[in-house]
Each structure stands twice: as C-alpha cells, then as structure tokens.
C-alpha cells in the first residue's frame, strides 16, 4: 500500500507513476492529485497494454517499465486496489494502491 506521504512526494520522483483511475467527471467535481495520470479503471488494461509510442501519445508520458513503482488512486481506495491487482497480473512488479485515495488526500491537504 502507498501512503499519503509517498503520494505527496511523487512530483519529486519522476521514476514513479501515479495513476488516478477515477472517471473524468469525478476529477472535474473534486480535483486531481499532483503529477497523476488519469486512466479510468475500465480503460486501464488496454492502456497498460499499449505499445510504448501509443501510450506516450495518449498520456503524455513514457509507458512505465514493468519494474517501475506504480501507485493507483481513486476516490476511496476500492478501485485503486483493483487497479493495482490488474497491473500486477499484467506483469508490473511494483504496483500498489493508495488506500486512502482522494478522500484521505483531500482531508490531509485541507489540514495543511
């Protein structure tokens, strides 16, 4: 599991990937995590199977290598856990969910 501190530090670690698997409308309602890439959960398997060039064209970032740290976030953690499991089944060895996801992020950011 990824922690709030780890997610907050992602902008300082370009080798780490933070994927927000919420739907686009949810992002518009709440906001986005800094340095995150939005790939809604229903699109995740297709996205992670894209050839490198197509992934970069679609998401503006190089496709992660299978040993990269991948952190998945959603609203409350359920979809993030499913996304991390999916990435693991696709061969990504360092996939993990941010259990608190947007709910924890928003609460902690509001307290800062």
Phi and psi for 77 in degrees, rounded to 5? 115, -20
Q: In Å, how far are 15, 57, 58, 67 from 52, measured between CA atoms?
A: 16, 9, 10, 15
Q: Is 74 in the active site?
A: yes
Are residues 37 and 48 in contact, defined by beta-carbon separation less than 8 angstroms? no
Half-sphere exposure of 9 (CA within 13 A, CB side): 8
Q: In Å, how far are 25, 92, 109, 110, 111 from 70, measured between CA atoms?
A: 23, 8, 22, 25, 26
- Among the options 74, 80, 83, 87, which is catalytic? 74
The residues annotated with a catalytic role in the active site are 74
């Amino acid at each position: 599991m990824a922690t709030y501190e780890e997610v907050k530090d992602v902008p300082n670690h370009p080798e780490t990937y933070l994927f927000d698997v919420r739907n686009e409308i949810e992002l518009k309602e709440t906001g986005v995590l800094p340095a995150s890439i939005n790939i809604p959960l229903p699109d995740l398997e297709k996205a992670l199977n894209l050839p490198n060039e197509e992934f970069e064209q679609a998401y503006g970032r190089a496709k992660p290598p299978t040993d990269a740290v991948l952190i998945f976030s959603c609203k409350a953690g359920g979809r993030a856990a499913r996304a991390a499991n999916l990435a693991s089944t696709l061969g990504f060895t360092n996939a993990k969910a941010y259990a608190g996801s947007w709910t924890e992020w928003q609460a902690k950011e509001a307290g800062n």
